[in-house]
Structure 1
Amino acid sequence: MKRRFIKYIVAASLIFSIAGCKDLSEININPNGVDPSRANVNLMLPGLLSSLSGHYAILDNSLSSGIMQHMQEDGWFDGYNHYRWDSKDWGEWYEILANNDVMLKAAVTNQLPMHEGIGLVVRAFAFGVVTDLWGDAPYTEAIKANEQITQPKFDGQETIYKGILADLQRASELFQAGNTSGIIANNDLIYKGDIKKWHQFANSMLLRYAMRLSEKMPNEAAQIIKRVYDSGVYLSNTANNASVNYLGNTSGDSYFLATQFDADGSIFRRRKVAKTIMDLLIANKDPRLTVWVSPVHCQWVEDLTLSTAYDAFVRKNNVPQSYNSLTFVQYQTEIAAGHKFTRHYNPNILGYRLDTAKYVGVPAGSLEPSSYNLNPTPGQIVQNQHVSQLSAMYRQPTGTYLKRRLATTEETYFILAEAAQRGWIGGNAETLYNEAIKASLTAWGVPDKYAAYIAQPNVKYKGTLEQIIQQKWVASWNCATESWMDFRRTGFPKLVAGPASAETVLPVRFIYGNNEINANRENLEAAIEGLQETPYSKVRGKNSQWSKPWILQGTNKPW
């Protein structure tokens, strides 16, 4: 892998103002041969954490939330809704790893154990994303261009996962020692130099990757999870969740749907909640629903007295108007003034039923998603008035709940609940499951709704893995990549590909990219041979989003 050192403009300007570099030569360093004794670890730290969290958040925006049917798009939707993908390169992740390698070596050379621990977590996280999403990958020979290794071999997933666990264990030991020498709090975008919180984060990552191996290495996974659980050191308070805030200054550091950086608002307008999760939120009276989603602008009303199939025009406060739709801004203004918009329809004449709910999602993998629920304005110019938009907070560049999430308390408790359900730890599975749900409600600002929600018949703990994973899937909203990994591992929740999807089942990996095909073909071809072709691989053959990497082979999961 070619090794490059990126100067992060935002991070650098931040450091110049707070770190007081004495000599500009501190950053004027040859990127292909950095002397660890001269590399400024504090200068590199914010850029690394920003890049790591930013690229992880992009996964949710670009594909993960569509795969996992949290959201759907009603414009330019083939890749997002239907899994019609091209090959995908992983350069951004190896770029992070190359930059992190400089910091990590400098931390070791200069005896800065907290920076070393952070570097180990970053390395584990980035390699984890690569092997999770693609499969076998360059690992032991990666980022060694200075050693003349420009075509690194691909290591098997088992080797990579074991290396990830070793890095996280070593990081945990460094954090436990409590040495914060050299750390500048403001340069740590996640925890402001709090080494105890980094220790919790590292241990929660150990839980994540141990559980990732639950089907392939169950004994080793159980031992690691028990050790972490018995230590009591893991994310257990939502205030300590590992995340980076959006700054909201430019399109690059703002939430990806922010309308101030989208001239016509089309990016926000075409992103909708999937019916799969919407119907579950409604059925369970989930209090997070109103935090995440807005009501439809115009609600359908079933009217058996209507002499036509449906109203040609909308009704404002039940008075027919001369138009069949308004723009997003017009609806927002009118609704804010207290007006209610409806349209009536007669199912006996229409021949089928429309969705008359206050909150309506788009079915996964539908052929024409912008037409759903008899939208009078299909396409991308005007929003679908009969389907919910995301809540108003998602139009903003930054906000209390808009975060680049890396790991959370709710995920940690769900992992522990699963471990208890499997009999791997001594904790009570129901208690841990309840704590996970409470943490998620707290994280989204509705902790007072916990008692009512946990009492819902389909939420109250029943002792099954399916229920744990389903609730974990809901709680992974805005961070769906991890729920994709859970789905692959367990087959839960029982998601079904839509009628227009490229295949009848959900994909399980990314397609190796053209950069490797062009520059490292021999090693790539060996890795592709290690994939298990399935009945869904078809035209692409083994390098397909439906071919199984080692982590899934022999498990009969998720299909």
Structure 2
Amino acid sequence: MKHIRLFTLTLATAASLIASSCNDGFEELNQNPNTSEAATPETLLASAFYNVVTRNQNRALRLTNELMQVHVTTNNSDEIHRYVIRPSESDYMWNGWYLQRTNFLDMYQSAASTNVSAVQNRNFMGIALIGEVWVMSQLTDMFGDVPYTEANRGREFLLQPKFDAQKDIYVDLFRKLEEANQHFKANQTFEPDFKPLDPIYNGDITKWRKFGNSLYLRLLMRASGKPEVNAAAKINEIYTKPAEYPIFQNNDESAMFRFTTTPPYTSGFFNYRDFDFNGDNSLSEFFIDNLNNWNDPRLPLWATKSEGIFQGIPSGYKVGEVPPAKSRYLPALKEEARLGNIINYAEVQFILAEAAVEGFISADPKTFYDKGVEAGITMWGVPMPADYLTNPMVAWDAGANKFMMLEAIMLHKYYALFFTDFQQWHEYRRTGHPVLPKGEGLQNGGVMPSRFKYPVIVQSLNGANYNQAVIDMGGDDLNTKVWWNKP
């Protein structure tokens, strides 16, 4: 038994070391001289995006949807809805996101060095940049300062990477999205053999370009409170130069991993039992009540009825006072392709609506708000009721103050972000919207966590750089604000 335990510990330590240094492979010990040592870019595309999307689905269900009152656990010992997040929750996303960043970096390098046509090279380089930016933005938005410039370099035996400041990471992410836009500028479609290998757009490079620039808008808005990066001016440039920076124009251009009902690219919930998906949770009062007030046609697509009606339960209840479950997630969501959402057209419209309210662009926010509300509904394959936008609970109020305008925008954006990784939480941290009710059982001083703690293994295997990051961040705590969220 002692030998077995030693071997198990060694494997675990090695795996953690790889994850903490953000590397997914060592030098190959056995090489076949008749094959390429590096994967071709097209072989990495689908698997990397699929892995990230399904991991994000998993944690949206476990973490985001509880923090943001989409649902409420009926397991008394699960306290995420009470703002209790254990450090161990960080490991799954930290390790998974860094692993796939390696694949996106490999995809870029392979595209830059393989013997495919110059157009194909540039297409794959642009896609790889979008994938890397998407993954790294999730890492830094969750933790703040993280390894970046020295990360994913385990093959160079750089196993203790320094942490980069979030501001510097964001600046470089912006640079990479600019580069991706330039790669796609040739507007060339993939060669026929490559199209089936693209699960997002089937080789439509025009849509990939819009994806990159729409993601750019998301990150610019997130950093818009920090004048040192001049995000507001860039948002205005993207808005006023659609030929140079095309963005989503309809739901069909939204970036989604479109799941199938047969392997290998099924939903992350495909093999869940109904109980695994909704057996120990119930949708929240906040989530259900808004949809009821709006007479929203998405409600029967998302929720079951309880006692003949749609009804939720309160979040943040006291320990030992578990309410009986009411409406739950509709089991059909387990196979729903739309839960592969990365960024959609409705979100972009709400970004522009906020930009108009803030004065970043010269436009009427109502135009974008109305389009965003409609797109958020029709994306689900149902028509928007004719009287939806005239409902007093929905209608845009041009005379409202700024707080109420942002509340309206962010509340409908919240529903457009249904099951979209941690985006609802990020936006709440940034804006304080939508305003969530607070239960009597909340912990953490009743304050929504501002970040996740770094994985414990990082402290032990990269201690010096971890300690410096903690000093720079102002603490490794749930309430430590990240750069874009600091006053």
Q: TM-score, normalised by structure 2?
A: 0.85
Alignment root-mean-square deviation, CA: 2.4
Q: Give the corresponding residue for 2:16.
A: none
Summarize the alignment of residues 480-559 of structure 1 with structure 2, pairs less than 5 Å apart.
Answer: 481-503=422-444, 504-532=446-474, 542-554=475-487
- Rounded to whole Å, the distance in 1 between the matches of 2:182 and 2:106 is 21
Q: Give the corresponding residue for 2:375.
A: 439
Q: Give the corresponding residue for 1:164.
A: 173
Give yes or no for the alignment of 1:271 onto 2:281: yes
> Does the CA contact (< 8 Å) of 2:285 and 2:312 recur in 1?
yes
Residues 1:202 and 1:266: Cα distance change in structure 2 (over 3 Å): closer
Residues 1:365 and 1:480: Cα distance change in structure 2 (over 3 Å): farther
User: 173, 178, 185: which is aligned to 2:187?
Assistant: 178
> Does the CA contact (< 8 Å) of 1:413 and 1:432 recur in 2?
yes
Equivalent position SS for 1:406: strand
Summarize the alignment of residues 400-419 of structure 1 with structure 2, pairs less than 5 Å apart.
Answer: 401-419=337-355
| Equivalent residue letter for 1:365 | G
- Rounded to whole Å, the distance in 2 between the matches of 1:73 and 1:198 is 37
User: 240, 256, 265: which is aligned to 1:243?
Assistant: 256
- Rounded to whole Å, the distance in 1 between the matches of 2:158 and 2:353 is 44
Q: Give the corresponding residue for 1:99.
A: 103
- Residue by residue, what CA displacement relative to the aligned partner does 1:183-206 show, whole Å, maximum 9, x if unpaired? 701111100100000011001001
Matched residues, number: 442
Residues 1:448 and 1:495: Cα distance change in structure 2 (over 3 Å): closer
**1:124, distance to aligned residue in structure 2 (A):** 0.5
- Residue by residue, what CA displacement relative to the aligned partner does 1:109-162 show, whole Å, maximum 9, x if unpaired? 234000000010011111100000001001111112233321111010100111
- Rounded to whole Å, the distance in 2 between the matches of 1:426 and 1:369 is 52
Q: Give the corresponding residue for 1:453.
A: 388
Give yes or no for the alignment of 1:207 onto 2:217: yes
- Rounded to whole Å, the distance in 2 between the matches of 1:207 and 1:277 is 26
> Does the CA contact (< 8 Å) of 1:113 and 1:180 recur in 2?
no
Equivalent position SS for 2:360: coil
Q: Which structure has the bigger radius of gyration? A: 1
Q: Give the corresponding residue for 1:363.
A: 314
Higher helix share goes to which structure?
2
| Equivalent residue letter for 2:278 | F
Q: TM-score, normalised by structure 1?
A: 0.74
- Residues 459-468 or 63-72, more deviating: 459-468
**1:24, distance to aligned residue in structure 2 (A):** 11
In structure 2, the gaps of 5 or more residues are 1-20, 27-31, 399-404
The alignment-based identity, stated in percent, is: 28
- Rounded to whole Å, the distance in 1 between the matches of 2:390 and 2:25 is 52
Equivalent position SS for 1:129: helix
**1:62, distance to aligned residue in structure 2 (A):** 2.1
Residues 1:407 and 1:2: Cα distance change in structure 2 (over 3 Å): closer
- Residues 116-125 or 139-148, more deviating: 139-148
In structure 1, the gaps of 5 or more residues are 7-22, 300-357, 376-383, 533-541, 555-559
Q: Give the corresponding residue for 1:78.
A: 78
- Rounded to whole Å, the distance in 2 between the matches of 1:77 and 1:177 is 55
- Rounded to whole Å, the distance in 2 between the matches of 1:25 and 1:76 is 58
- Residue by residue, what CA displacement relative to the aligned partner does 1:255-290 show, whole Å, maximum 9, x if unpaired? 42x5x642x725422232111121121222222222
- Rounded to whole Å, the distance in 2 between the matches of 1:54 and 1:188 is 17
Give yes or no for the alignment of 1:390 onto 2:326: no
> Does the CA contact (< 8 Å) of 1:206 and 1:224 recur in 2?
no
Summarize the alignment of residues 341-360 of structure 1 with structure 2, pairs less than 5 Å apart.
Answer: 358-360=309-311
- Rounded to whole Å, the distance in 2 between the matches of 1:272 and 1:25 is 56
- Residue by residue, what CA displacement relative to the aligned partner does 1:21-43 show, whole Å, maximum 9, x if unpaired? xx99546x3xxxx4xxxx31111
> Does the CA contact (< 8 Å) of 1:165 and 1:206 recur in 2?
yes
Summarize the alignment of residues 118-137 of structure 1 with structure 2, pairs less than 5 Å apart.
Answer: 118-137=127-146
Equivalent position SS for 1:177: coil
- Rounded to whole Å, the distance in 1 between the matches of 2:251 and 2:265 is 26
Equivalent position SS for 2:465: helix
- Rounded to whole Å, the distance in 2 between the matches of 1:230 and 1:485 is 27
